[in-house]
Each structure stands twice: as structure tokens, then as C-alpha cells.
Amino acid sequence: MNRFTFNHCVTHSGEDVVDFVKEKLCSSNKVLFIGTVGMDATSLYYPYMLSSRASVDYKFLIENRPFVADSLKKIGKLHQRFLAELLGDACVFEEIKIIADDEATIAGRSAVRAVSPWLQTKGYSDIVIDSTGMSRGTSFPVIKQAVEAGLQSGINVHLLNAAYSIPILDHKPESDDRAEWMHGFQGQMDSDRMDDALKLWVPQLSEDKVQATSTMYKKLFPVAEVCPILPFPSQNPRRGDNILFEYQDALTQEWGSSLLNIIYAHESNPLDVYRSVSTLHGIREQVFQETGEMPVTILSPAGWRIGSLGMLLAAIELNLPVLYVETLGYTSDSGVPAEVMLPNPDLKWHIWLTGDVYKPN
């Protein structure tokens, strides 16, 4: 059974994704669709596209966070009712806790526990993971779990994502004050073996996340080298410069890094991030193999979600540890719409994770 690799990764983007979903997935024998439903209306995009097809079982995770604005909760309920009416008995909703009662981060553990029986069900020809509305703490472990299930069972596993170049939902995340190893992506990072490892930290940088990145850096300290990723090209050509200005003190003073260490990756192309991380890791492994020292590359997805998928692909293929800061909740001044507005995102991606690529018609 085949799995994506750095040298062979089958993808579709833009309107090619729509054609693929309608022409290929809609004609598959039996499809398991796993997604989320919440405040982001974009998460309705692919379920609605597939809703005309009878042979799809829909499983939706509902991420339960302790601090979410009432208006956002109401929007999430509105979207859930819409899907329940659209899909009827074909859909199931499963609520998962992101933060435990003792304030521990349990997003990944909760998600894989909920998804496990779905993936073990026999009879599916294709598994679709729609990460559009999933947080990274949920999506990364679930996607890795689906890849492993696909390799064991011989099922095709697909990853879908949709987004807007300019976000349409007005909300602000509230981050935890602790950095955690993502479930399933810890490796040996807390073992004594890592005490002398030369750590390369590759964080995604985005607006209003300086405190979160500082929290991650303190957990990793000492760090041999920091190579942050900035979005370029991007919808706003100045976005990378604006983020760099926000992080200038952290970059040059706290992290001891320089402008020469910055990685620029396309804002809306996960393969650009995937290639950049894979190439950097490979070069570093080769260099330190000759010195006898032990390097380790640590990823931190904290920026744009589509770019984060590139980090996910690199982490799965190269078995890289992933450190992140979980989101405790969201605040918002947005009102609740009277009815559901069906999304029309301009960014769409399909990534073939496992399986044998369909033959052309």
C-alpha cells in the first residue's frame, strides 16, 4: 500500500479539487467522512458538496473548549442543525473535550479515542479527513491515525481542506500558558537521550502569537538554532514583513537568531512548507552524521492552517516531534446570522495520503 512521500505526493488544488470530489469521491463504493462542525462555516463546504451522494457516512467531531463566546457557540449550534437536517441518519456528532477538568491538554487523545472505532469499521473504500474546521491539536493526531489505518487496511485515505484568503469570521483565540507535545508526535523528546541533542526549532509565525511562541521556546531551551517560517507569497504582500516586525525582538534577542535563518513559504501552498522543512531536515541530518552529534528537528504549527498541513506531512514522513500551544477558547463581537450562509472558499486542497491513485476515466 502506497503512502505519500516527499518525492511522490499526489495533490489537487483550486477547482481541480471540486472536480475530483464530484467525479471520483462521489463515485466511490463507500466513503467514511470525518470532519468537525463548529463556528467556522467553511467546514460545511465539503459535506454539502458530497450530500447528494448516498454512500457516505459522516462523522463530525465537536471541539468543546472552556472559554468560547456565546455568539460563537450559537453559530456552532446553527451549523450542527444544518448538517443534521441535510444529512439525516447518515451523520453522527461526537463531542470531545479539548481541556480536561484538571486543565491538562487532551485534544489529541480525545480525538483519536473518538475516531478509532470509526476507522476500524469494515467496508469502506475511501476515508476522507476534512481538516477545514479542525484545530491542529485535533487534526494532526487524527490524520496520522487515519494514515496508519489506511496502510494497514489498504483503504484510500484523502485529506481535504478549504479556506478563505481573507478570514470572514471575526474572532480572537485565547491561548494556554503551557506548551505541550502534540499527541502522537512527541517521539523521545522528554527522554534523557534528548538532553544533549542539537535542537533545530522550526516555528510558523503569525500575528498576535508572540507570547505563545515565547512559551514554546522556553520549554525547548536550550535551542541550537531557530529557523522560523514566514508566509510569502501571501494575499497581503506585506504580511510577512508585518509579522517580522512584530517578532523582531524575539528573533534577534530571545532566540539569538538572524534574518538569514528565516524560511519563506507560500501562504496557500502546503507543499511549499513540506518541501522547505524536508530539505532543511535532510541537509542537517547529513551534516551532523559526519560529526557524530545528534540533531533533532522540532516543528511548531502556529500560523496559517493550510501551511500547517505541510508541517504535518513532514512530521509524519520524517517522524518529527511537534510542539504547540493549545487554544483555550475564542472571544468575538460577531452577531449570530439568521440562517446558514453556504461558504464559497477560494482556497481548496486535496492531498492523497494513502492508497493506489485512481486510474483516469
- Residue 345 to residues 57, 168, 172, 231, Cα–Cα distance (Å): 24, 10, 20, 19
Structural domain contains residue 253: yes
In degrees rounded to 5, what are phi and psi of residue 51? -65, -20
Whether 154 and 197 share a structural domain: no
Among 25-34, 335-344, 349-358, which stretch is predicted with the lowest mean pLDDT?
335-344
Q: Are residues 203 and 256 in the same domain?
A: yes
Do 84 and 150 belong together in one domain?
A: yes
Structural contact between residues 216 and 324, judged by C-beta atoms closer than 8 angstroms: yes
Domain count, the chain: 2
Query: Is residue 185 located within the same domain as residue 276?
Result: yes
Residues 90 and 201 grouped into a single domain: no
User: Is position 132 within any domain?
Assistant: yes
Whether 290 is covered by a domain: the verdict is yes
Q: Which residue has the higher pLDDT, 290 or 106?
A: 106
The answer to whether 27 touches 51, Cβ cutoff 8 Å, is no
- Pick left, alpha or beta for residue 332 (phi over 0 → left; psi -120 to 50 → alpha; otherwise beta): beta
Q: Are residues 126 and 240 in the same domain?
A: no
Whether residue 360 has pLDDT greater than 70 = no
**Number of CB atoms found within 10 A of residue 126's CB:** 21
Query: What are 221-266's pLDDT values in tens digits?
Result: 999 999 999 999 999 999 999 999 999 999 999 999 999 999 999 9
Q: Is residue 5 part of a domain?
A: no
- Check pLDDT > 80 for residue 334: no
CATH of the domain at 225: 3.40.50
Considering the domain architecture, whether residues 80 and 153 belong to the same structural domain is answered as yes
% of the chain exceeding 70 in pLDDT: 99
Whether 248 maps to a domain, the answer reads yes
Specify if 361 maps to a domain. no
State the residue range of the domain holding 236: 177-325
Q: Does residue 238 lie in a domain region? A: yes
347 located within any domain: yes
pLDDT: is 292 or 23 the higher one? 23
> How do residues 159-186 score in pLDDT, each as one tens digit?
999 999 888 777 888 999 999 999 999 9
* Percentage of the chain lying above the pLDDT 90 cut: 81
pTM score > 0.85 for this model? yes
